[in-house]
Amino acid sequence: MADFLASVMAELNSNLPVGRRTLEQMVDSGDYSYKTKDGSEVVISKEQIDLLWTLCDEGEKIRLKLPIFVSTDTSYETGAWKIEGKDEAAVVSRILGKTLIKEGYLRLYHPDLKELRQKIPDSIMIVFRP
């Protein structure tokens, strides 16, 4: 059973990036793309990069890795999403005007995810993990 679940999770996450770079690395190189495990290339628009750049402080520009992972929040009984990571949660909370639950943890509901997808669709990635 564990092997079956592992294979299902691997298939669900075939869109994960092969490597993640920081916002600063992308801006410095002028390359706003990343490759995924399934071989696809995702290009983040300059508008999204510019929005993130204006919302980040100097430290966050160096530490914020793209794409930002949005994962299932299994701790919440009615279905929710979460963003974990000090910089990731802080930046997304500013984008959405939401308050952090605690440092490094932001809970999102479906309307929040929809809004986030409208604002920075290529800068986030949905991942399925417990």
Q: How far apart are CA 80 and CA 111, in angstroms?
A: 10
- Gyration radius of the chain's alpha carbons: 15
Digit-coded pLDDT (tens) for 12-70 = 667 789 889 999 999 999 999 999 988 999 999 999 999 999 999 999 999 999 999 99
Strand runs labelled E in 85-123: 105-108
Which amino acid is it at 129?
R
Record the pTM: 0.87
Q: Where does the pLDDT of residue 10 fall: very low under 50, low under 70, confident under 90, or very high at 90 and above?
A: low
The neighbour count for residue 49, using CB atoms within 10 Å, is: 19
Contacts of 95 (CB under 8 A, 6+ apart): 51, 55, 116, 119, 120
Average pLDDT estimate for 2-6: 65
- Name the residue with tokens 């919440």: 76
Digit-coded pLDDT (tens) for 76-110 = 777 799 999 999 999 999 999 999 989 999 999 99
Q: Which domain holds residue 96?
A: 2-127
Model confidence at 114: pLDDT above 70:
yes
Q: Looking at the 3D structure of the chain, how many domains does it have?
A: 1
